[in-house]
Structure 1
Amino acid sequence: MTPLNKPIHLGTLFDDMAARGSTTAVRLSRPLDIAPEAGVELDVPSVSSLVRRAAGWFAEAGVRSGDRVAIVKRNHWDYVLLSCAAARLGAVPASLSAHLAPRTLETLLRRLDPALLVTDTALLRGARDAGHDPSAHAARTLVVDGTVEGALSLGDVRGGTAPPPRRPHLDAPLAIMHTSGTTGVPKLVVHSTRTIMRRLAGFESHRWPILGSRRDDTVASSISFAHGRALAWTAGVLWLFPEAISVITAPDWDEAGPALRLHRPTTLEAQPSTLVRWQRHLDERGEGLRRVRLFISTFDAVHPSTVRAFLNASERRAPVWMQGWGQSETGPLTFRFLTRRSLSRRQGPGPTTRDLGRPIPGRTRLRAVDPATLLPVPPGTPGLLFCRTDALCPGYVGEEGRWRDKLVGQWWSTGDIGSIDRTGAVRLVDREVDALAEGGCLEIEDVVDERLPQVLECVVLGVADGPPVPVVATEDGTLDPGVWKEAVVDLPTMADPVVLTWDDLPRTGTGKVRRAALRESLGLPSRTRATGRWT
């Protein structure tokens, strides 16, 4: 495998694509924070030039090979460009979401001990106002969009010349990203060139039927670009020379709607929480989705009603929804295609998206085991899901013991409860840490979503002694008690619902509900029926 036929080298990714004659247009919903003067229409050679300039900034700021560069700023695709710039110097970029609480960010920065913190004025000032100064945990701090006392600005480092690119060993640390942190402080996941570039981006750089980007595609993405998914997506998609990529940086319809209507994607990947926010706008201004042939959802569970709404918004004869399941540590483990027809079938109380498909052939293996004995359970029996994959991250920063504890031989604990039938199909029940005595959180949440369209989000929280507590978000923070009781009459016994608005739910950078934070805000005990051993 060489750079001529697969994206391998993160630091020279855009150089390599420009050398291959890429004609892909890069279209942004707003200008890059690190280069607002470049506008919203770029091409691969200009992006390549920007990465080289950014590498020069870092070199001027004192970054050397082997250093860590922490990146935490407002969400945008320039997370990827800054990561490439750091990797070009032989440094290791660590992408941290701006959604992290100041105290959590402080904890992660202590573990990283970065030579350089790259941030923006709003985040740095906001953290300082909250009594947490992230710049105190880095040798130097660079602000990309202005000036802040005690930090370098771009004006201080412009003109720096980057040395020739350095290419790390295949198994050396290449990039660091964090897990979602729904149950506490996120873990810092280390990936290597072998795992994230060869295994993950390399897989996406094939012209697979349905999944592979085509030369006439406009490929849109609206995700957290601090997530490792952004690196694999950028490398894998652009390597196939689509006509354009469209980057949407915020879930707000005021930004996303015009971008979708202007660039009219043919494939669209977005976080499930983003899709839920867009769903209510499909009837009024959904024409931007008429050309979509492929929808992709990762990061979190997605409800059948959301899948159905977006498939119906496309005017393609047979649009497809690809639902992927995996983790930051592993990349995708299974995938499943959903269609209008498959969503019309009833499965139990209603259609479900908890059937996750089968392991990726030749790349992943799965087994379900008894959580107490770790022995395999019979087909179709729920158990703790373990995986084997060559894309497994080589460790956690500052928590090496925690990483090793999740390995049993060569099998890695996903921390999810699910079943595997005789054909290898996986059905997800819950995260082990969220497990209930009766039924599963995800199934209950699916049914509520299907039966109560006015509920924007339902989160079921288990408690150690007593029935689980459902938390539902509606537009105005109200819900008729009689309507609720009628909808859940055949479901496992639950406490009366706590009704909030969408904005009341604490979320991660990828839109997941931070269940531990929600539990704390409601005054619920932290102890549940689960062990929490595998988080």
Structure 2
Amino acid sequence: MVSIFDQGTPPPCPSPFNMARHVLAAGARTPGKPALVIAGPDGARRCYGHGDLERMVRGIASGLLRQGLAPGDRVLMRLGNSLEFPLTFLAAIAAGLVPVPTSAMLTAPECSRIAAEIRPALIVADAGVALPDAPGVPVVAAGELAQWRDLPPADYVMGDPERLGYIIYTSGTSGQPRAVCHAHRAIWARRMMWDGWYGLTSEDVLLHAGAFNWTYTLGTGLMDPWSRGATAVIPEAGTRSADLPALLAREDVTIFAAAPGVYRQILKHGNRFHLPRLRHGLSAGEKLPDPVRAAWNAATGTAIYEAYGMSECSTFVSGAPGHPAPAGASGYPQPGRRVAVLGEDGQPVPHGTPGILGVSNRDPGLMLGYWDAEGETRARFAGEWFLTGDTVSMDADGAIHYLGRSDDMMNAGGFRVSPLEVERVLNAHPDVLECAAAEVMVKADTTVIAAFYVSEAEIPEAALSAFAESRLARYKSPRLYRRVPALPKGANNKILRRKLREDFEATHGKA
């Protein structure tokens, strides 16, 4: 049997449609119910009801339209970790505009390149956040956005669900930012995650540990619970990982979402947490190490359900409370998804065989394409399939095992080695806080597997080598180790192994 898994066809997106209206519609039925709680470790909290949320979004939409913007105009968002970030994102969509959220950490040259590419009609910005060199483009300060919350509400601009709704930037492993264009229908596709990953109901309280201005937080932490009529909780800016268990308990959180590194940091501060309302955790952004998963379960009595996705299609493979992933797997294609594992010829490979993960071009969550890059968009498709660039294998029952980016896979004496397998072993070392493996060139025509690790102090290479070789076949074990202050990561928190490789080779040269 070949590696194709079809989970059926989701219901079609309604038409006419507006993404922001869909996000806010469920909460409109219970306007006084908490939609968002911003909670601080000192007991401070700000609470906004679903009615407050819709009022603020539609007020800001009115303010945007008063700037003379036309449907389809791009709004470049240079906002920090504040409530204005999600409110402005939804407000622009409500008004028929196209928000382009960007990381506040981008430098002026980086955001200038983005502005030159997407040609915004307006920039909204927080004080202290770098602005692009974009002559003639007006800039609205975050303080003015806050004043627009109480303006008379704008009407939702309805239209074809296939039309452009928003643009997000993904760094990819190449480090070259790509402008990913999504249709309004993308939010409709996220309904497949409610049962396929979250186990989300309208009664849930979901706390996401990330900042407002992270796309993982925006989708999983805010838009999805709001679309369900549930309550979202976001930690106050500056909240430490050590403070999160107390927040989870105080806010009666039922679902906790975070990146693997946050779980790891929490566990450094204790091995027992009393969280009586917590049903389970969610993890995405990078592979969750098995030791972290096991330690969290021992500390809380709850499971972590992992999801695999990408900016071009959000998450579409996951474990879920009703369908847990088997050991070592990322999960199953969510209900309504159709995926395949493809060989170099673009055809599905047999079960258990590594190949490139493809998602059907009929998936309603799939991007429209890359902005002004038709050739690059076409290159990502092979017949029916959008090529993710990730190497996986599929079990006979559809379980997906993530093996790494296709360009991250390492070669050792003719054997293909997944960096995740090496990292899983070294992350279990008691003194290693985080690590990444990459194939690096040490001299002309000679490459070896290298391990780059973060630790509080230098670890003797002999000790690391012995630790790895006692747990890995020799050909899989790193031949060199380098301690680094931090691992390079993209905006979606994925490790940039290519950056590690390039930096090493630039520093050490190749004879």
TM-score (norm: length of structure 2): 0.83
The verdict on how the C-alpha distance between 1:526 and 1:257 changes in structure 2, with shifts beyond 3 A counting, is farther
1:367–1:231 Cα change, 3 Å: same
1:309 aligns with 2:315: no
Match of 2:6 in 1: none
Matched, 1:522 2:504: yes
For residue 459 of structure 1, what is the aligned residue in structure 2?
436
Please report how far the alpha carbon of residue 19 of structure 1 lies from its aligned counterpart in structure 2 after TM superposition. Answer: 3.1
Paired residue for 1:472? 453
Q: Is the 8 A contact 1:135 1:141 kept in 2?
A: no
* 1:68 and 1:116 in contact (8 A); partners too: yes
Q: Normalized against structure 1, the TM-score is what?
A: 0.80
Cα deviation, 1:430-462, whole Å, max 9, x if unaligned, reads: 101111113210111011112x02211111122
Contact 2:202–2:228 (Cα < 8 Å) also in 1: yes
RMSD value, Cα:
3.4
SS at match of 2:308: strand
Separation in 1, partners of 2:174, 2:39:
32
Q: Structure 1 residue 247 and structure 2 residue 221: aligned?
A: no
Do structure 1's residue 220 and structure 2's residue 207 form an aligned pair?
A: yes
Q: 47, 51, 61: which is aligned to 2:67?
A: 61
Shift of 1:415: 0.2
Which residue number in structure 2 is paired with residue 488 of structure 1? 468
Cα contact 2:436–2:452 (8 A) shared by 1: yes
8 Å contact kept, 2:410–2:419: yes
Q: Which whole-Å deviations, capped at 9, do the CAs of 1:190-231 have from their partners, x for residues lacking one?
A: 11122x12211x3345xx498333454321112354455445
**In 2, are the aligned partners of 1:183 and 1:515 still within 8 Å (CA)?**
no
Asked if the contact 2:62–2:153 (Cα under 8 Å) also holds between the matched residues in 1, the reply is yes
8 A contact 2:175–2:490 mirrored in 1: no
Maintained 8 Å contact 2:308/2:315: yes
What SS does the aligned partner of 2:331 have? Answer: strand
Deviation at 1:72, TM superposition (A): 2.4
On the 8 A contact 1:68/1:93 being kept in 2, the answer is yes
Question: Matched residues in 2 for 1:329 and 1:425: separation?
Answer: 21
Q: CA-to-partner distance for each residue in 1:307-331, whole Å, 9 max, x for gaps?
A: 112222224xxx3321111211112
Q: Distance in 2 between matches of 1:220 and 1:137?
A: 40
Confirm whether residue 203 of structure 1 aligns to residue 192 of structure 2. Answer: yes
Aligned pair count reads 480
Local SS of the residue matching 2:96: coil
SS in 1 for 2:20: coil
- Structural mapping, 1:345-384, within 5 Å: 353=328, 355-361=329-335, 363-371=336-344, 373-384=345-356
Distance 1:418 1:214 in 2: 31
CA offsets 1:398-447 (integer angstroms, 9 cap, x no match): 32221111011121101011212333222221101111113210111011
1:277 to 265, 287, 290: 265
| AA of the residue aligned to 2:86 | V
Match for residue 4 of structure 2? Answer: none
| 8 Å CA contact retained: 1:29, 1:256 | no
CA contact (8 A) 2:24 2:227 kept: no
Which deviates more from structure 2 when the two are superposed, residues 421-430 or residues 156-165?
156-165
SS at structure 2 position matched to 1:467? strand
Structure 1 residues 449 and 493: alpha-carbon distance in aligned structure 2, compared to 1, 3 A threshold: closer
Which 5+ residue runs of structure 2 have no aligned equivalent?
Answer: 1-10
For 2:373, the equivalent position in structure 1 comes to 399
2:395 and 2:196 map into 1 onto residues whose CA distance is 26
Unaligned runs of 5+ in 1: 32-37, 125-132, 146-152, 344-351, 529-535
Picking from 309, 322, 328, the partner of 2:311 is 328
In structure 2, C-alpha distance between the alignment counterparts of 1:376 and 1:433, rounded to whole Å? 20
2:283 corresponding residue in structure 1: 297
- 1:78 to 1:6, Cα distance in 2 relative to 1, 3 A: farther
Asked if 1 retains the 8 angstrom alpha-carbon contact of 2:242 and 2:265, the reply is no
Query: Helix, strand or coil: the match of 1:106?
Result: helix
Q: Does the aligned pair in 2 maintain the 1:72–1:118 contact within 8 Å?
A: yes
> Could you give the per-residue CA deviations for residues 171-194 of structure 1, whole angstroms, max 9, x where no partner exists?
000111122444212211111122
Native 8 Å contact 2:84 2:146 kept in 1: no
Q: 1:141 aligns with which of 122, 139, 142?
A: 139
CA contact (8 A) 1:324 1:332 kept: yes
In structure 1, how many angstroms separate the alpha carbons of the residues matched to 2:181 and 2:508? 29
- CA shift, 1:364, in A, is 2.0
Any conservation in 2 of the 1:177–1:226 contact (CA below 8 Å)?
no
Q: Residue 420 of structure 2 is aligned with which of 437, 442, 452?
A: 442
Check 1:454–1:264 CA distance in 2 against 1; reply closer, same or farther (3 A cut). Answer: farther
Aligned counterpart for 2:386 among listed residues 396, 407, 412: 412
Contact 1:293 1:314 in 2 (8 A): no
Q: 1:48: which partner in 2?
A: 54
- Counterpart CA distance in 2 for 1:510 and 1:180 is 8
Find the partner of 2:184 among 185, 193, 203.
193
Q: Distance in 2 between matches of 1:390 and 1:2?
A: 8
Q: Answer yes or no: is 1:260 the counterpart of 2:248.
A: yes
Q: 1:137 to 1:377 in 2, by over 3 A?
A: farther
Q: 1:497 aligns with which of 464, 474, 481?
A: 481
Q: Secondary structure at the match of 1:165?
A: coil
Q: In the alignment, which of 9, 16, 29 is matched to residue 18 of structure 2?
A: 9
* Closer/same/farther in 2, CA of residues 519 and 142 from structure 1, 3 Å limit: farther
The DSSP-based 3-state class of the residue aligned with 1:74 is coil
Q: Which has the higher contact order (CA 8 A, sep 6+)?
A: 2
Contact 1:177 1:227 in 2 (8 A): no
Q: Any idea what SS the aligned residue of 2:480 has?
A: coil
Report if the CA contact (8 A) 1:387-1:414 is conserved: yes
Cα distance in 2 for residues equivalent to 1:416 and 1:381 = 13
State the percentage of identical aligned residues: 22
Q: Distance in 1 between matches of 2:306 and 2:291?
A: 14
